[in-house]
Amino acid sequence: MSRGSRDRTATSRRRASAWLWGVIGILALVAVWEAYKAFGPADGVVIGGLRVLPRTTDLAMPHVWDMVTRMAEPVTRSPQALPLWLVIVLAALTTLGIAAAGWLVGLVVGIGLALGMQRWKLAEWGLLPWIVLSQTVPLIAFAPVVKSWGSRVEIGAFEWQDWMSVALIASYLAFFPIAIGALKGLQSPDRIHTELMQTYAAGYWSTLTKLRFPAAVPYLLPALRLGAANAVIGAVVAEVSTGLQGGIGRILIQFAGQASGDPAKAWGPIFGAIVLGLVAAGSVALLGQILKNYRRTEEAL
Amino acid sequence: MTDAAVNAAEYAVEVAAVDKTFDTRSGTVTALEGIHLTVAPGEFVSLIGPSGCGKSTLMRLVADLDEPTSGAIRVFGKTAKQARLDQEYGIAFQQAGLLPWRTVAGNIALPLELHGVASAARRDRVAELLDMVGLSDFADRFPDQLSGGMQQRVAIARSLAERPRLLLMDEPFGALDEMTREKMQAELVRISGETGAAVVFVTHSIPEAVFLSDRVVVMSPRPGRVAQVVDMRLGADVSGGARASRDDALREERSFFEMVTAVREALHGAPVAGARGVETR
Amino acid sequence: MTDAAVNAAEYAVEVAAVDKTFDTRSGTVTALEGIHLTVAPGEFVSLIGPSGCGKSTLMRLVADLDEPTSGAIRVFGKTAKQARLDQEYGIAFQQAGLLPWRTVAGNIALPLELHGVASAARRDRVAELLDMVGLSDFADRFPDQLSGGMQQRVAIARSLAERPRLLLMDEPFGALDEMTREKMQAELVRISGETGAAVVFVTHSIPEAVFLSDRVVVMSPRPGRVAQVVDMRLGADVSGGARASRDDALREERSFFEMVTAVREALHGAPVAGARGVETR
Amino acid sequence: MSAQATTTAVLAARPGASAVARSRREVVLRIVVPIAVGAIVLGVWQFLVSVVGVSDYLLPSPAAIVEEFVAYAPAIFQAMLITGTNALLGLIVGSLLGIALAALAARWRAIDLMAAPIVASLAVVPIVALAPVLNSMFGADSQFGRQAIAGLASFVPVFVNTLRGFRQTAPVHRDLMKAYAASGSQVLRTLTLPTARPFILTGIRIASSLAVISALVAEYFGGPRGGLGGLISTSAASSAYARAWAYVVASIALGLLFYLVTLALERLVQPHRAPKR
Amino acid sequence: ADNESRPGEGGSGERELTPVKLQLQWLPQGQFAGYFAAQDQGFFEDEGLEVEIIPSGGDIVPQDALANGDVDYAIAWVPKVLGSIEQGANLTDIAQIFQKSGTLQMSWADSGIESVADFEGKKIGSWGFGNEWEIFAAMAAEGLDSTSVSIVTQDFNMNAFLQHDIDAAQAMTYNEYAQVLETVNPDTGELYQPEDFNVISYEDTEGAMLQDAIWADTERLESDEEYQDTTVRFLKAVIRGWVFAAANPEQASEITIAAGSGWGPSHELWMVNETNKLIWPSPDGIGIIDEAAWDKTVKGALSAVNETGAHLITEEPPSTAWSNEWIQKALDELKADEPDLDVTGADWSPIEVELQEGGN
Ligand SMILES: Nc1ncnc2c1ncn2[C@@H]1O[C@H](COP(=O)(O)OP(=O)(O)OP(=O)(O)O)[C@@H](O)[C@H]1O
Ligand SMILES: Nc1ncnc2c1ncn2[C@@H]1O[C@H](COP(=O)(O)OP(=O)(O)OP(=O)(O)O)[C@@H](O)[C@H]1O
Ligand SMILES: Cc1ncc(C[n+]2csc(CCO)c2C)c(N)n1
Ligand SMILES: [Mg+2]
Ligand SMILES: [Mg+2]
């Protein structure tokens, strides 16, 4: 028991030091930014016609404190305007919801594909190259098509909403790591374990539930985390692409459009998008905590 | 398979004229050739032989994890496949092969769960088995919290879960250090005595084979054949057939060393000459 | 370290009053306590003991891969560190530890390369070593194309590359099957005879220790101490000290079984009683 | 029949066939099956457009795309060259930075911990967010912004994999090096780098397609025209969808090319692959 | 004409509204103030319509959304739609809201770029997305090949221009031009002034092309009587919306902000005011297509070739590409209903808007 508590204090001490160093890392980045801004040439460092270090004007590199204080100020001079940070948080929450839906679709599709490919070698050979290739198609190329086709879907009381197009596009990025990770995971059981199931005369489904899925967890979790980050990226891009209102993608281009007169403002949604991605990936890490008994061999991976 | 089949039911395992070849990139490998072997109910038979002689292959054929190229295998009078479907045997491998995400109890319960044993009955049986292998206090631990010997005991408990009349064990103690191994051997002797199951046991260790078995089947290298079957005549009452009481004292007895020598010589094919073997794979 | 130090140069290894403790998350583990041990030049000493008794730790201290908590270790009269820097020993571990991206020859050449031996000399020495371990035909193979026994022979060749006066071997045959193991033992006997190096050999196998050693050091479980040192008195000429000729016939000799029994009893702490050990970690 | 048995059954096909024939069959299948799948999809697509009559305006047919591809081949290759160069430069510089920083992080835990939040952020930041500010920082008139984005996108997987690779040295190998009294640079050369090599290469392979897609998407957000991304959007904006898809096909080909080249690099740098784990 | 036939006219509230979708070509902003005003002031509802105004994002092409049947009407620039029509879209310009081109090409006062002829060899900014055709058409009129300049894609702000990455940047009078004037000149510490720049207005060049127009589905216009009816009602409400915006720019700007524009009040008001300048006066009535301006647009579109050698269009658009029939009908009906309504902007005059730093 004392061993357990000692373990815990040791881990919490380690965690605290990790956080501390992380903060130091960010502060170091801030320091580098400001130092370069203070001492770097206004037009950046140009070598052989190539600008290898950025310009240091306020337009190109706003002061970090300007970015921070800008967050606290209202978005516009309009009397009803909310503070910038609140606008970003609200937009981020919208996007998070859409990304979550995209992630779920990606999860279902990814696992479905992985199951098929695990079950039939021919399916693996036939599909896997295309799945890999699918990710080289720029999202933006088909975002309008998805929106257009989606708006045609109307089944009974169900009517396709624009946010669903965005979620669907997000799922296009999310499914990929999930399919690959799940396939690897489902194929991961050692021969000794598959043969054990065979000696128990266990069928496909019991082998799946008792062996393959549990064994896949250590592969699946990082895949799901990547999938979550991808879902957020996909949702943001799709928002920009299809012009969906309310999300972070929308304010991202809106504020980018105002960056000439208000350079610090444009950074707000960038930080919002990063925090959003981290939150999404972090939530999956939480899932990993729940499944920790399935990750007992993870060190070995 | 003419009149042998008539009496097949008498045997726990009957291997008749079995050949097994594998197709590999570099040609066909004959792993087993003309194997004849019977194991009586309750009998403890060890397979010993150099690496690659086909011990595991033979065991896998009996377990219906693979099919013979020719010849027939019957387990309690049934085909190997039927025996597998009927769960006539329990099996344990060199690695314990526990599922790392299941507790000790969960691992032992696995076959029971798969075969729909009700949860109360399952709990009782698991408790019984845990007691048998002396791990009652470890029911809720996970495999990675156990030593190698303990893991192997869990695997053995698991193989016994459904009270099989036949136990197949492929080098189950291969990964253990010698002291733990001796302890495990003693336990296996006790357990197999208690359950009365026939055991087919693959090992590389001559003392282990001698200590455990009623008969030791010595196999020759590729193509694997049965080179010799050595009956163990051990202990105080050296009366052929019946198993002598096997305890640690036996290991220091003269008859033990004699049997070790007998198996050694069978293995080397002749009274041993000085060897400088250049191994070829 | 008073007058022992004066004569230290006489010994290949001298371990004086060594303790070793590890700080772990769950507190301090005493791995070794009050170890005294000397190994004469050319002597073959085996360390045997239950798992976790500190054999590997002791070996690592001698190799200066770790430092004693207290006490002193001298190798050919130098500090362990100096001896390491001077490459006074060769070392082999339980896993062969070959670099998978180097050929057999490349692996054997590694220490020579690191120590700046010219490439021609290196080639000659590697050829010599390959011949010694019987792998001349395999010089250009990669480790994964070799059997476990062959890999281990490569590791041994590597440990001999710089003609060390001391060989440290931590269960080098642990992963091999018994027949290969016996072959490797015979080779090690030959090689160590040819090179005249002192050997410190860790093993779990009593017959292995008996077959190979001049002396067997039996260690007790945690905290690791030297429980007993058994002199091997083997073979036709049972004259203490000098190493008897060790060939395969020895394994069937009476004196061999006696020594096995002696080590067994030293290991179990007493003449063996029937055991039903419930293992606790 | 259990799953395992089915899988092996598919693999084993006819039990009589020799292993040589079987493995040759496998190689052939691995090439033929994906091509067949692609052909079927294209066939259905063409069928939908030309027979069922989904309007060509909505969904250009494969034939129309090929036609445009041929008609605009010189412009397409020019665009591939521009985007490909950006992706390549980004990939090279991003990979080198990733390897270098990973080496530092492997050596000093503090650097690892300090880099952690920054790398995690880079891994989740959408390109659309960074492109405009990078264009402002580095100038919209040069390709540098796109190269920087391709570099950032490549950096993350290379860094993560390399760091993992640097941590893979087996204890037995480290002990061996210590026993040989090997110097730091000797250990790096003979042990750490070779151990990390497959991991580094995996990182680069993942990065290769990311670099292409990032360089391409970055073109949507300003900078010199002429790359694939800009032309896809321009074509789509004038409803020339067949032409837009011709550029998309080119971008897929470019991604594939990068992937295959890195794969070949792996074979080249690592002719002998130890079996995994 | 027969308003009485419409169910529930008189605002009883329980009538069936006809659903209509309108696709904009960009985010909500003052450029579209008239539509938002019509929505806010209930003009659509008065006409028995329930209009959903759909903003666009980077890659949504309004005319494609219309051609695909996703929406009922779309706002888009004429040259872009001409391209789509040649690709197979079947669309009709039913109201030319903007009478003038609002595109500028701005350069620094000391750059020496004072006309399109000076573009040669320069880095010319454009947003792409079809906004580049005016440049190419103007250049073609000056005998300049599109490859004689290097085209740089502008993103959503004017930083590239302000940092001299491009020599002449594309700017809309109502948006980007203001953005520049909302930026602090680091040399003076004050906002940039109009004198700091040379401004070329495409309206003054041969490249001028018609911009925001309302587009409808040609086939439905021909065959679907309900759609015809809806079209007229829709146009009437739109006209009233723009008339409202002309008379009440402050209010229109507030309505637009409420509709989701992210701009600050000063910028929004500027945008409404400048948009009004592009619409009014409309001597024939708002939305009437001036055939001369149309022909000029077509001529420019035919002459424009981009740097890959692609043409915007290669042949004259079909006669169905535009029609004054519907807007005329709407104007006539309005005249009958509300004789006082100023649909020509005869009395309209712009206001003075003071820009604030940052556009907020
Ligand atoms: N699936 C297979 N494909 C091809 N060859 C195989 C296969 N399984 C076994 N073999 C070959 O058959 C022979 C017998 O193998 P087997 O594993 O039965 O030997 P073993 O006696 O168990 O050896 P060990 O003591 O090393 O476990 C070997 O030569 C082996 O290479
Ligand atoms: N680095 C370490 N940190 C903490 N404890 C250690 C460390 N190395 C060894 N120990 C502990 O010291 C004791 C001796 O370990 P050692 O590996 O020397 O045993 P061994 O005799 O070699 O065992 P085996 O036969 O299993 O190899 C063990 O209890 C082990 O847990
Ligand atoms: C993706 C994208 N498309 C178009 C434009 C430029 N643009 C053309 S019309 C219009 C509305 C007036 O501001 C604007 C902004 C852009 N900047 N970004
Ligand atoms: Mg085997
Ligand atoms: Mg050890």
> Is residue A74 in some structural domain?
no
Are D42 and D149 in the same domain? Answer: no
How many whole angstroms separate alpha carbon A181 and alpha carbon B258? 56
Q: How far apart are CA C184 and CA C190, in angstroms?
A: 10
Closest chain C C-alpha to A22 CA, distance in angstroms: 24
Q: Which residues contact D127 (CB under 8 A, 6 or more apart)?
A: A233, A237, D149, D153, D214, D217, D218
Centroid of ligand 3 to alpha carbon of E127 (angstroms): 7
Contact residues, chain E, for A245 at CB < 8 Å: 28, 55, 260
Report the pLDDT value the prediction gives residue B276, as an integer from 0 to 100: 31
Same domain? A27 vs A165: no
Shared domain for D27 and D79, answered yes or no, is no
pLDDT tens-digit map of C103-151: 999 999 999 999 989 999 999 999 999 988 888 889 998 988 888 778 9
Q: Which residues of C touch B179 (CB under 8 A)?
A: 50-51, 204, 267
B47 to chain A, minimum CA–CA distance in Å? 20
The residue whose CB lies within 8 Å of the most ligand 3 atoms, and thus the one to mutate among E61, E105, E127, is E127
Reply yes or no on whether the pLDDT at D190 is more than 80: yes
DSSP B43: -
Q: Do chains E and B touch (3 or more CB pairs under 8 A)?
A: no
How far is the centre of ligand 2, averaged over its atoms, from the C-alpha of C56 (Å)?
A: 7
The band of A236, judged by pLDDT with boundaries at 50, 70 and 90, is very high
Does the beta carbon of C29 lie inside 6 Å of ligand 2?
A: yes
- Cβ-proximal residues to A251 (8 Å cutoff; 6+ apart), any chain: A87, A88, A91, A268, A269, A272, E262
Domains in chain B with CATH codes: 3-88+164-268 (3.40.50.300), 97-163 (no CATH)
Is E60 in Cβ contact with A147 (below 8 Å)? yes
**Residues enclosing ligand 3, CB less than 6 A?**
E 26, 31, 58, 127, 129, 131, 156, 172, 175
- The least confident of A3-7, B118-122, C258-262, D236-240 is A3-7
Edge-to-edge strand ranges of the sheet holding E18-23: E49-54, E18-23, E73-76, E213-217, E91-95
* Nearest protein Cα to ligand 2, atom 3: C22
Q: What is the pTM assigned to this prediction? A: 0.86
Q: Do A7 and C27 touch (CB under 8 A)?
A: no
Which CATH number do you get for residue A220?
1.10.3720.10
Compute the distance between CA of residue D72 and CA of residue D239 in angstroms, rounded to an integer: 16
Kindly tell me the burial class for residue E329, based on how many C-beta atoms sit within 10 Å of its own C-beta (0-12, 13-18, 19 or more): middle
Q: Is the pLDDT of residue C161 over 60?
A: yes
Tally of structural domains, chain D: 2
Asked if A260 lies within 8 A of E356 by C-beta distance, the reply is no
The minimal CB distance from D175 to the residues C65, C101, C144 is found for: C65
Is the residue at A78 inside a domain? Answer: no
Question: Looking at the structure, do residues A102 and A241 belong to the same domain, yes or no?
Answer: yes
Residue among A225, A68, A98, A218 at smallest CA distance from A168: A98
- Residue A301 counted as domain residue: no
Q: What range does the domain containing D36 cover?
A: 18-54
Asked whether the beta carbons of C203 and C168 are under 8 A apart, the reply is: no
- Determine, yes or no, domain membership for D158: yes
Full domain range(s) for residue A273: 84-294
Say yes or no: A17 and A149 in one domain. Answer: no
Whether residues A149 and A287 fall in one domain: yes
Is D91 part of any domain? yes
The reply to whether residue C114 touches residue D182, judged by beta carbons under 8 angstroms, is yes
Contact yes or no for D238 and E130 at CB 8 A: yes
Spell out a b/e string for D191-214, using b for 16 or more CB atoms within 10 Å of the CB, else e.
Answer: bbebbbbbbbbbbbbbbbbbbbbb
Does any domain span residue D10? no
Inter-residue contact B40 to B10 (CB < 8 Å)? yes
**Residues above pLDDT 70, as percent of chain E:** 96
Q: How confident is the model at residue E43 (pLDDT cuts 50, 70, 90)?
A: very high
Res D241: pLDDT:
84
**Mean pLDDT, 10 residues at a time, over chain B (281 residues)?**
49 93 81 92 91 88 93 93 92 88 94 92 94 88 86 90 91 78 84 88 89 92 86 61 63 81 80 36 31
For residue E28, pLDDT beyond 50:
yes
Q: How far is the CA of E53 from the centre of ligand 3 (A)?
A: 18
Q: What distance in Å separates the CA atoms of residue B99 and residue B102, rounded to the nearest whole number?
A: 6
If you take atom 5 of ligand 3, which residue's CA is the nearest one?
A: E127
Contact D275, C100 (CB under 8 A): no
| CATH, residue D73 | 1.10.3720.10
Q: Is D27 an interface residue toward B (CB < 8 Å)?
A: no
Residue nearest to atom 6 of ligand 1 (CA): B22
Q: CA dihedral in degrees (E182, E185, E186, E188; nearest 10)?
A: -130
- The answer to the question of residue A127 being in a domain is yes
Paired with B228 in beta bridges are: B218
Same domain, A44 and A103: no
Between E350 and C250, whose confidence is greater? E350
Looking at per-residue confidence, does E230 or D140 come out higher?
E230
* Residue D112 sits in the same domain as residue D159: yes
Q: Do residues D175 and C93 touch, judged by C-beta distance below 8 A? A: yes
pLDDT value of position C8: 46
How far apart CA A17 and CA D114 sit, in angstroms, is 10
- Residue B54 in contact with ligand 1 by CB distance below 6 A: yes
C187 Cβ contact partners less than 8 Å away, ≥ 6 residues apart: B276, C133, C134, C153, C156
Residue among D91, D94, D90 at smallest CA distance from D143: D90
CB B108 within 8 A of CB B126: yes
CA–CA gap between residue B101 and residue A208 (Å, rounded): 15
- The answer to whether residue D32 is domain-embedded is yes
* pLDDT band (50, 70, 90) for residue C239: very low
Query: β-pairing, C215-220 with B44-48?
Result: unpaired
Q: Is residue D63 assigned to a domain?
A: no
- Looking at residue D20, what is its pLDDT? 63
- Let me know whether D38 and D135 are in one domain: no
Helix extents (H) in chain A:
2-39, 64-72, 84-119, 121-134, 139-150, 162-186, 191-199, 204-207, 213-242, 248-256, 263-290
Same domain, D103 and D22: no
**B280 touches ligand 1 (CB under 6 Å):** no
Is A100 within a domain? yes
Which of A46, A61, A76 is where one domain is finished?
A61
Q: Tell whether ligand 2 has an atom less than 6 A from the beta carbon of residue C225.
A: no
Are residues A207 and A107 part of one domain?
yes
In a domain, A109, yes or no: yes
Which of D235, D206, D203 shows the shortest CA–CA distance to D219? D235
Residues of D in contact with B23 (CB under 8 A): 17-19, 22
CA distance C136 to C122: 15
**Cβ-nearest to C276 among B178, B186, B264:** B186
Q: What whole-number distance in Å separates Cα of residue B170 and Cα of residue B46?
A: 10
| Count of structural domains, chain A | 2
Q: Does residue D62 sit within a domain?
A: no
Residue D30 neighbours by CB distance under 10 Å: 16
Q: Is the CB of C67 under 6 A from ligand 2?
A: no
D111 & D230 share domain: yes
A107 with A243, same domain: the answer is yes
Of B11-20, C7-16, C215-224, give the range with the top mean pLDDT. Answer: B11-20
| Whether residue D262 sits in one domain with residue D203 | yes
Q: Is E12 on the interface with A (CB under 8 A)?
A: no
Is D1's pLDDT higher than 70? no
Take atom 11 of ligand 3 and give the residue whose Cα is closest.
Answer: E26
**Cβ-based neighbour number of residue B236 at 10 Å:** 11
Q: Is A123 within the bounds of a domain? A: yes
Both D35 and D126 in a single domain?
Answer: no
Closest Cα to atom 26, ligand 2: which residue? C51
Helix (H/G/I), strand (E/B), else coil: C245: coil
Instruction: Assess whether A108 and A42 both reside in one domain.
Output: no
Is residue C5's pLDDT more than 50? Answer: no
ipTM of the predicted assembly exceeds 0.90: no
Residue in A closest to B89 by C-alpha: A199
A contacts of B95 (beta carbons < 8 Å): 192
Distance CA C256, CA C268 (A): 18
**A240 at E interface, C-beta within 8 A:** yes
Question: Tell me, what's the pLDDT at A1?
Answer: 45
In a domain, D81, yes or no: yes
Work out the number of other CB atoms within 10 angstroms of the CB of residue C24.
9
Domain-located, residue D13: no
How many whole angstroms from E58 Cα to the centroid of ligand 3?
Answer: 8
Check whether D208 has a pLDDT greater than 50. yes
Same domain, A200 and A285: yes
Residue range B194-224, pLDDT digits in tens: 888 999 999 988 889 999 999 999 998 878 8
D97/D149 same-domain check: yes
- Is residue C243 predicted with pLDDT exceeding 80? no
* Interchain CB distance below 8 Å, D181 and C85: yes
Say whether both D144 and D238 belong to one domain: yes
Residues A49 and A107 in one domain: no
Phi, psi (degrees; rounded to nearest 5) at C36:
-120, 135
Same domain, yes or no: A100 and A30: no
Residue C240: pLDDT band with limits 50, 70, 90: very low
Is there a single domain that holds both residue D34 and residue D90? no
Burial (Cβ within 10 Å: 0-12, 13-18, ≥19) of residue D16? exposed
Q: Does D89 lie in the same domain as D24? A: no
Tens digit of each residue's pLDDT (9 = 90 or more) over C55-95: 989 999 999 999 999 999 999 999 999 999 999 999 998 88
Do A101 and A19 share a structural domain?
no
In chain A, residues 282-301 whose CB comes closer than 8 Å to chain E: none
Residue A160 lies in a domain: yes
